[in-house]
Amino acid sequence: MRQVGVLALQGDVRAHVTTLENLGAAPRKVRQVSDLAGLDGLIIPGGESTTISHLLITSGLRQPLQGLISSGFPVFGTCAGLIMLATDVIDGRVDQWSFGAVDVSVRRNGYGRQIASFESPIVIDGRGTVPGVFIRAPRIERCGPDVSVIATLDHGDGEHPVLVRQGSAWGCSFHPELTSDVLVHGLFLDALQEALR
């Protein structure tokens, strides 16, 4: 059984845990460094990216996680989690930092503030369609050459990536955990299984 951590410092932790359980994985809430031991991968949930980044520092998790991610440890960031994995954050605060695991430029709240939240069907390349829930979602405005685009969205101004992967790091603009569809999490778990072979 795959042991998958969910960073539980702030954000929508419970829905990720439930989705992982529904897929037969063994989720573990990660709040301190010792919680990282024995994990096969980690999900960084949505929430508020500057709050998450501050709590990663105060909890002592920033450096251990940076080391793991830099060494190829599988990680999946949704919404604010995507911001935490990006190499470049547009419109971030002066003290904004990220792990730099996915070579993308993201704009915080790029699809609008809370009042502009919306849902849209997302076609996952070769796999089917999932409901996409966008809440103060980051917009991916640039992808590096090593980034694979798995899904895009046209929100009236052209196609923008909303689900991407670079090596063992995945990033998603929307909230797959807020629906009953488990396809996106399933793709991440499938990648974990491949990495364990």
What is the SS3 assignment for 63? helix
pLDDT digits (tens, 9 = 90+) for 83-101: 999 999 998 777 778 999 9
79: annotated active-site residue: yes
48: annotated active-site residue: no
8 A C-beta contact, residue 41 and residue 76: yes
According to the model, what pLDDT value does residue 112 have?
Answer: 74
The beta strands (E) that lie in the chain are given as: 3-7, 26-30, 41-44, 75-78, 86-90, 102-107, 118-124, 128-134, 139-143, 148-154, 159-166, 169-172
- 47 vs 169, which has greater pLDDT? 169
pLDDT tops 70 at residue 134: yes
Q: Which residue, chain included where needed, has tokens 């995945």?
A: 170
According to the model, what pLDDT value does residue 15 have?
Answer: 96
177: annotated active-site residue: yes
Residue 101 Cα distances to 4, 105, 170, angstroms: 18, 12, 9
Percent pLDDT > 70 in the chain is 98
Topology of domain 3-196 in CATH is Rossmann fold (3.40.50)
Write down the catalytic residue from 16, 79, 160, 185: 79
Tell me how far apart the alpha carbons of residues 157 and 111 are, in angstroms, rounded to a whole number.
Answer: 11
pLDDT tops 70 at residue 194: yes
Average pLDDT over residues 72-90: 96
pLDDT digits (tens, 9 = 90+) for 21-50: 999 999 999 999 999 999 999 999 998 888
8 A C-beta contact, residue 32 and residue 56: no
Tell me how far apart the alpha carbons of residues 42 and 65 are, in angstroms, rounded to a whole number.
Answer: 10
pLDDT tops 90 at residue 127: no
Token pair for 10: 């702030």
End-to-end CA distance of the chain: 13
Residue 158: count of CB within 10 angstroms of its CB: 8
Write down the catalytic residue from 160, 172, 177, 185: 177
pLDDT tops 90 at residue 108: no
**Residue 157 — pLDDT band, cuts 50, 70, 90?**
confident
> What average pLDDT does the structure give for the chain?
92
Q: Largest alpha-carbon pair distance within the chain?
A: 45
- 170 vs 193, which has greater pLDDT? 170
According to the model, what pLDDT value does residue 197 have?
Answer: 62
Query: CB-hemisphere CA count at 13 Å for 195?
Result: 17
What one-character DSSP code corresponds to residue 15?
H
Write down the catalytic residue from 16, 160, 175, 185: 175
Residues 6+ apart with CB under 8 A from 115: none
8 A C-beta contact, residue 187 and residue 127: yes
Rg from Cα positions in the chain: 15
Tell how strand 169-172 and strand 86-90 pair up: unpaired
